[in-house]
Structure 1
């Protein structure tokens, strides 16, 4: 076995499969793009689903990748086991209808055992197979030459995610030797595939050969696929002879930095080692996820990040680190991974800022959480209780980010047990709520052969032509390829087309198809890319269409002109965003439609009104400068050397299209654009809002729509001018401010009169004092406007010490307000304002509560006020 670094192992894997004709797919961002079924990219195949379900045909049916992934379903085990991680790397090779079991197994064996590659000892390798997969077992035994006792049948070796591609799999295990044998020889789990530390699974080969139909049957796939996954961390632990994944070069530099910050040593105390591991694991996830556009928040993936960070901070405290420190680990993560993932290094300052800010915010809540826990524990001991309930444990965990083990530790230090079952119940309820909130869209589509088998050429020529002749190559109607269609809906492919297929946020062109005499044949309502890249026109047929005939294709020019204005304006806005907010403001989605544009971007914090004004000003200045918009086609490396910006989540081939606006905005883009920025005319931002954790959205208008928006606002201003009686629009602001000042003075005068009236009522109300069981009480209905004035009356009552108990009620329309107050002497007798208000509030159809000395309630049944006040006597009696 060769001694290699993690960087060398990763590169060697990719080089091996490149030598087998595979296209190397770059690692996608951890935040899924256009896939609402996933919270995170959680495997190597997750970004390739479009190829497996047949919706897109890849340039090369052989693909390999190293994909960063996040899974958090086992977060509580991280640090306690040898191999659990939140972020990990999956190395994979994939075949989309090309090679199958024989090559997949042979290449896996070659990579692992060949002296030119990993050079593993074949004697230490085992394979597991699905019992019914006789072919895979035959290949391992007869072609690879594994001994019979090195091939194990396991009933669980079947990969299935519900409807969609599925099939048997074959796992490869490495025997780490007797030193790792944590079980007895006769233990039923002591075998490759069992729950043990000796036999380590390093690679899973999935043979995707069936469609799992919605009806529950398994039908052969039109194209059989290969999907494999090898965990880099596990492989490196074997190659570097590490007891666990954490003693490899992927984690040890982080652990060394934590040693420096904490003054503690790794490998001395097993409990403290858990904290080192948790921190090393979690900071990797945080750094990469933030770099890919996710930000800490209280929901979705932002909640996951907040939870990871808080868990790491609490483990830092166990190591004696009392201040923000995680942000100092970000450069270490960047340095470890820079060989293949430069993004952490490139965004180091921004990631550090986010992590540090979140750490400091959490430190503010730690004391609050500890205070809550200590109060709960003191109350339990005062009441002679011995168990801390699961709801409290979960609240500390969920609200304050306290790891369960920390709560248990504090509880046990106080001589109390913890309600594990109750906590698990609360956790399960939360998971079910999250699952219910998740989209129900399918995880992977069922593969169909119809569109994927269409290989005809079709060229898009619509960058500079909107009306052309095209030969009709393919007609699809009622899910079948037909030679003609007379009416109804159909999908068409031409040898060339001016119609833009929806892509990169730009909506599809609409238009018409006519015959040689100009007669309408069909209306084009949508255009999408077919699996092999051809523009696929969805049409409503007006008169017969025949395969092989030539037709005239006419794009709706008015609609296209509006779209191109909005698309070029989107590029200008993207650049303006970066200038105003910073380079971290990356595109996270867009819509370019005829009547408006929508731009989503990553940003940590609010966008101010002044920042929006500045962006709008910059875009309009670029429009007024009349800058030529130049598009060129070149290779990807040349484009990057030009400084072209790639958009978040987009995949680019070797040849790309660059849109250059005066060397100010340079982006890779396949969309359609104006020829000069002055064609846009005008740009106006109409809204800005937050749409998720760390993602903001700007909506804007251009051209005619922007002008109409300004006209509408002017009309509204004219209406306001008429209302405030301002003959000149420029005087509207001054006139409005004068009216506001007058209103404030009137409101102040009203409040003074209301207070005077309340004081007059108080003089009458406070005279009527009753005594019940030696306790003096005042109850009354008063005519004041709100709860605030009730409290003012209660303040007067308290200052004058007029009785032991006060209960007041007021009615305003259909609403009732109640207030109860107690003196210290009444509280000593056992009376509590909160108890009293809970008793009488239902009489007015409401509820409330408060402290022993004062409580309040609201209701919607004015008719019950008299009964509520009468109930006070019963309470005191």
Structure 2
């Protein structure tokens, strides 16, 4: 076996499959793009689903990748086991309808055992197969020549996630030797595929050969696929002879940095502190990569996961004696470990550090609150002579304050309490069920469509050059069936050439018409999508018959198209302006470009001020005034990057790319349509800015006609205001409004004084009317005051003058009732409490309330019930 670094293993894997004709796909963002079924990218295949379900046919059916992934369903196990991680790397090779079992198995064996590659000892490799997959078993036994006792049938070896591609799989295990045997030599789990440390699973080869249909049945796939995954951390632990994944070069530098920050116990000296080292090392990797990919800590979704990871790591840092913010200091360590393949961590180091440091500081402010809650609960339990800390409290501390469960239970144990761990698990399960219920019910992967994936005709997009194109109709589809002619209804059509843009990259599809050779209307084009093989698939509504082989004129709606391209170019200008004003971390996180408006989502940690928005808007307008020329060139990806081209969020780029260059100021990779000069945009106006999720904000804006209409509407409203405030010119409006505000404040002050005077007069009258019942004096009346605040003012006067034992006041306005009851110290001493009386009379006005023994208040919805409520007082006093 060769001695290799993790970086060498990763690159060796990609090089091996590149030699086998695979295209190397770069690792995608951890934040899924246009996939509501996933919280995180959780496997190598997750970013390739569009190929596996047939919605897109890749240029090369052979793909390989090293994909960073996050899984958080068992965070509690991280640090306690040898191989659990929140973030990990999956090395994969994939075949989309190309090679199948034979090649996949042979190549896996070659990569693992060949002296040129990993050079694993063949006798140490074992495999499991699905019992009914006789072909895979035959290949392992007859072609690879594995001994029969190295090939084990396992019923669970069938990959299935519901509707979509599924099939049997075969797993490869490495025998680490007797030193890794479970404690009991006769343990029934001590075999490849069992729960043990000796036989380590390193690679899973999935053979997708069935469509799992929505009705639960299976049918053969039109195109069979290969999906494999090899865990980098696991393979490296074998190569580097590490007891666990944490002793490899992927984690040890982080652990060593934590040791320096701790200055207490070293890694490896204590099993308990080792858990803390592992948790921190694992979590800071996940945090660094996820934040770099645009996810930010929050109280929901993936942001909640990050907040939980960070708080868990901070608490484990405290166990190691680290009392101040420290996680942010580990970001450069993570970056240097991974920089050979993931340079983005170091490139965004300052931003990632800032986010983590801010979140750490925030948590340190709340951590004492959590400890105070736990200590208060423990003290309360002691006074009640109870001995169990309930699961609900443990969960609250864990969920709200980020306390690791083991820490809560440890503190409780030190205080002499037993922890209700079963109750905690019940709370956790309830949370999981709530999370599942909140997830999208959209399908994880679509069922393959053999019809669309089988259409291989060539179709050229000509929309960059023209908006009108004569072209032959090649494909006509109605109701998932190919037809040669159609007389009416709706259909999908493909032409040899088309000027219609297919919806992609945030830009909506073009609209327009199909004309016959006599220039007569044949069909309305209502939408255009990309077919699996890249053709533009037009959705049309027929006006007269369509026939395959005939030539039609495809005519784009020019007005609609021009509206779209103005907004698309404005989106590029806004993107560059965002970065200039907010910083380079403000990356696109989605967009929508229509003929009427543009919507731009971006990552940003914090609010966007009105001043910053005004500055962005001004920058875009200045670029429009400067009349900057816009050029587009097609080049290779490497050249585009050297030009400084910015890649847009969620886009996949081949070797040949299109660069949109706004006079060197904004340079982006983009396949969409644009104006020729920025002055064509005319006007640009931001309509709104808001937060739409954790660390993601949205700007909506308009250009050209829509911007003019918005400004005209606002001008009209301003002129109307000028008339209302009697301003002779618009420029006087602000001064006039300020004068009116001053006048209003003076009137409000005068009104308050008059109301107070009126209340004093009422007080003088009502305080004379003191009643007595069952030895208790009381004053009860309905008064004409504005609100509860003035009732309390009357109560203050009553209290100062000591006029009776009880005071009961009621007032009504706009069908609402306010009640107030006050009790003197003497009344309270006799057991007469304001809160008790208010509860007795409030229902009579259709409300409820409560309060302290000396003062209580209530609201109601039935003013007609006030006399009954006041009459109830005497009955209550005599009860």
Q: How would you bin the TM-score normalised by the shorter chain?
A: over 0.9
State how far apart, in whole Å, the 2-side matches of 1:779 and 1:175 are: 88
Matches within 5 A, 1:363-762: 363-762=364-763
Aligned to 2:326: 325
Tell me the TM-score normalised to structure 1 length: 0.96
Aligned to 1:160: 160
Structure 1 range deviating more: 394-403 or 238-247:
394-403
Aligned to 2:175: 175
Aligned to 2:136: 136
Matches within 5 A, 1:207-222: 207-222=207-222
SS of match in other structure, 2:450: coil
State how far apart, in whole Å, the 1-side matches of 2:817 and 2:329 are: 56
The number of equivalent residue pairs is: 877
CA 1:380–1:840 in structure 2 vs 1: closer, same or farther (change >3 Å)? farther
SS of match in other structure, 1:305: helix
CA 1:468–1:867 in structure 2 vs 1: closer, same or farther (change >3 Å)? same
CA 1:254–1:835 in structure 2 vs 1: closer, same or farther (change >3 Å)? farther
Structure 1 range deviating more: 693-702 or 845-854:
845-854
Aligned to 2:271: 270
SS of match in other structure, 2:451: coil
Contact (CA 8 Å) 1:10, 1:66: kept in 2 or not?
A: yes
SS of match in other structure, 1:76: helix
Question: Deviations for 1:830-868, whole angstroms, at most 9, x for unmatched residues?
Answer: 776656655654444334445565544333233444555
Aligned: 1:18 with 2:49: no
Displacement of 1:128: 0.9
SS of match in other structure, 1:120: coil
Question: Deviations for 1:447-470, whole angstroms, at most 9, x for unmatched residues?
Answer: 111111111111111112111211
State how far apart, in whole Å, the 1-side matches of 2:312 and 2:823 are: 44
Contact (CA 8 Å) 1:505, 1:591: kept in 2 or not?
A: yes
Displacement of 1:409: 2.1
State how far apart, in whole Å, the 2-side matches of 1:818 and 1:672 are: 66
State how far apart, in whole Å, the 1-side matches of 2:377 and 2:851 are: 19
CA 1:219–1:810 in structure 2 vs 1: closer, same or farther (change >3 Å)? same
SS of match in other structure, 1:230: strand
Aligned to 2:126: 126
Question: Deviations for 1:583-624, whole angstroms, at most 9, x for unmatched residues?
Answer: 011011111111111111111111111111111111111001
CA 1:270–1:617 in structure 2 vs 1: closer, same or farther (change >3 Å)? same
Question: Deviations for 1:72-126, whole angstroms, at most 9, x for unmatched residues?
Answer: 1101111111111111111111110111111111111111111111111122211
Aligned: 1:252 with 2:284: no
State how far apart, in whole Å, the 2-side matches of 1:149 and 1:868 are: 88
Displacement of 1:393: 2.2
Runs of 5+ consecutive residues of structure 2 not aligned to the other structure? none
State how far apart, in whole Å, the 1-side matches of 2:507 and 2:833 are: 65
Displacement of 1:544: 1.6
CA 1:688–1:198 in structure 2 vs 1: closer, same or farther (change >3 Å)? same
Displacement of 1:761: 3.6
Aligned to 2:115: 115
State how far apart, in whole Å, the 2-side matches of 1:334 and 1:828 are: 70
State how far apart, in whole Å, the 2-side matches of 1:114 and 1:787 are: 85
Matches within 5 A, 1:199-210: 199-210=199-210
Structure 1 range deviating more: 556-565 or 188-197:
188-197
Contact (CA 8 Å) 1:183, 1:190: kept in 2 or not?
A: no
State how far apart, in whole Å, the 2-side matches of 1:827 and 1:88 are: 66
State how far apart, in whole Å, the 2-side matches of 1:301 and 1:676 are: 40
Structure 1 range deviating more: 785-794 or 133-142:
785-794
Matches within 5 A, 1:763-778: 763-766=764-767
State how far apart, in whole Å, the 1-side matches of 2:760 and 2:429 are: 55
Aligned to 1:297: 298
CA 1:788–1:635 in structure 2 vs 1: closer, same or farther (change >3 Å)? same
Displacement of 1:233: 1.1
Displacement of 1:411: 2.1
Question: Deviations for 1:494-516, whole angstroms, at most 9, x for unmatched residues?
Answer: 11111111111111111111111
State how far apart, in whole Å, the 2-side matches of 1:416 and 1:828 are: 40
State how far apart, in whole Å, the 2-side matches of 1:528 and 1:725 are: 55
Aligned to 1:29: 29
State how far apart, in whole Å, the 1-side matches of 2:551 and 2:159 are: 48
Contact (CA 8 Å) 1:183, 1:196: kept in 2 or not?
A: no
CA 1:812–1:669 in structure 2 vs 1: closer, same or farther (change >3 Å)? same
SS of match in other structure, 2:726: coil
Contact (CA 8 Å) 1:486, 1:541: kept in 2 or not?
A: yes
Displacement of 1:157: 1.1
CA 1:826–1:36 in structure 2 vs 1: closer, same or farther (change >3 Å)? farther
Aligned: 1:335 with 2:336: yes
Aligned to 2:351: 350
CA 1:857–1:171 in structure 2 vs 1: closer, same or farther (change >3 Å)? farther
State how far apart, in whole Å, the 1-side matches of 2:246 and 2:346 are: 22
State how far apart, in whole Å, the 2-side matches of 1:141 and 1:65 are: 29
SS of match in other structure, 1:72: coil
Contact (CA 8 Å) 1:499, 1:527: kept in 2 or not?
A: yes
CA 1:782–1:572 in structure 2 vs 1: closer, same or farther (change >3 Å)? same
Displacement of 1:308: 1.1
Runs of 5+ consecutive residues of structure 1 not aligned to the other structure? none
Please, what is the CA RMSD of the aligned residues? 2.1
State how far apart, in whole Å, the 2-side matches of 1:425 and 1:768 are: 60
Displacement of 1:166: 0.6
Aligned: 1:360 with 2:361: yes
Structure 1 range deviating more: 382-391 or 70-79:
382-391
Aligned: 1:226 with 2:226: yes
Structure 1 range deviating more: 394-403 or 734-743:
394-403
CA 1:399–1:771 in structure 2 vs 1: closer, same or farther (change >3 Å)? farther
SS of match in other structure, 2:651: coil
Aligned: 1:315 with 2:311: no
State how far apart, in whole Å, the 2-side matches of 1:113 and 1:90 are: 20
Displacement of 1:700: 0.7
CA 1:227–1:396 in structure 2 vs 1: closer, same or farther (change >3 Å)? same
Contact (CA 8 Å) 1:467, 1:498: kept in 2 or not?
A: yes
Contact (CA 8 Å) 1:660, 1:667: kept in 2 or not?
A: yes
Displacement of 1:539: 0.8
Displacement of 1:143: 1.2
Displacement of 1:293: 0.8
CA 1:124–1:513 in structure 2 vs 1: closer, same or farther (change >3 Å)? same
Contact (CA 8 Å) 1:78, 1:84: kept in 2 or not?
A: yes
SS of match in other structure, 1:179: helix
CA 1:475–1:124 in structure 2 vs 1: closer, same or farther (change >3 Å)? same
SS of match in other structure, 2:490: strand
SS of match in other structure, 1:450: helix
Structure 1 range deviating more: 793-802 or 25-34:
793-802
SS of match in other structure, 1:523: strand
Aligned to 2:794: 793
Matches within 5 A, 1:39-50: 39-50=39-50
State how far apart, in whole Å, the 1-side matches of 2:380 and 2:292 are: 44
State how far apart, in whole Å, the 2-side matches of 1:579 and 1:118 are: 47
Structure 1 range deviating more: 355-364 or 759-768:
759-768
Contact (CA 8 Å) 1:43, 1:90: kept in 2 or not?
A: yes
State how far apart, in whole Å, the 2-side matches of 1:472 and 1:536 are: 11
CA 1:322–1:825 in structure 2 vs 1: closer, same or farther (change >3 Å)? farther
CA 1:850–1:493 in structure 2 vs 1: closer, same or farther (change >3 Å)? same
SS of match in other structure, 1:726: coil
Displacement of 1:794: 3.8
Structure 1 range deviating more: 221-230 or 798-807:
798-807
